[in-house]
Amino acid sequence: MAEFSDLLKTDALADAERITGKSYKDDEETMRLGFGLHLVLGAAKEAAAKAARDSYFSMNLAETLALYADMGFTEVLCDEFGGISYGTESAPAETYRILWRDGILATVESHQGTHRNATKVYYNVAVHDRSDLWSRISSGSMTDGGVWVGDHDAREGIRTNLARLGEIGTFLSTWVKRPFLWLVTYAESKGDYDYAAINAERISRLPADVQAAIGGAS
């Protein structure tokens, strides 16, 4: 896991800039080197993710759902919606799922039926060791009581990222504060829409215990 964790933190463009001593924004050679390193890094991360039984960018929908099941998540909502039609093909039936594992809420959206589009996890973590906090978190904020209220893009390294958070804190089965939730499908985000109303409607159909757990005190 340590090797994969290091790969997840690697920045190919930053490495290219260190090698050439120039900014990729101003130097074409640095840009080309960065792109080449990015391709090599992508292949290395996918291989490491597969070895660690973790997520990677090209993972399909079935593989993603199998990974979440292996990690102990349970599906608590599955909505079907019409996808986008390309050319003369009819629009595929898409799915938007919400999964739950004792304080961690996950979302999984399909693309073209069998491919995975977005997937995220939301959580509250009571942090007991802040010495390496910033290398382990993604979006979010800290409460006055020392709880990190956040989320992670789960398309890459989600098993590793959750495990690393668990090393410095405890996931709360009942949230003290709700993170910013985005429970909106890609079809619903076209044109005028009210994300808060969509969120509320979707949350209203979750099991009562999950609704209570993610309510938060604020």
Residues 6+ apart with CB under 8 A from 41: 7, 10, 12
pLDDT of residue 21: 84
Average pLDDT over residues 17-34: 76
Q: Inform me whether the pLDDT recorded for 4 exceeds 70.
A: no
Q: How far is Cα 135 from Cα 119, in angstroms, rounded to an integer?
A: 21
Q: Across all residues in the chain, what is the average pLDDT?
A: 88
Q: What is the pLDDT of residues 146-190, one digit of tens each?
A: 999 999 999 999 999 999 999 999 999 999 999 999 999 999 998
Structure tokens at 134: 């910033």
Q: Which of 132, 172, 124 is nearest to 148 (CA)?
A: 124
Measured in Å, how far apart are the chain's first and last C-alpha atoms? 35
- Sort 38 into a burial class: Cβ within 10 Å, 0-12 / 13-18 / 19+: middle
Q: How far is Cα 100 from Cα 108, in angstroms, rounded to an integer?
A: 11
Beta bridge partners of 153: 120
Q: Inform me whether the pLDDT recorded for 96 exceeds 70.
A: yes
Q: What is the pLDDT of residues 108-137, one digit of tens each?
A: 999 989 999 999 999 999 999 999 999 999
Q: How far is Cα 44 from Cα 56, in angstroms, rounded to an integer?
A: 11
Percentage of the chain exceeding pLDDT 70: 85
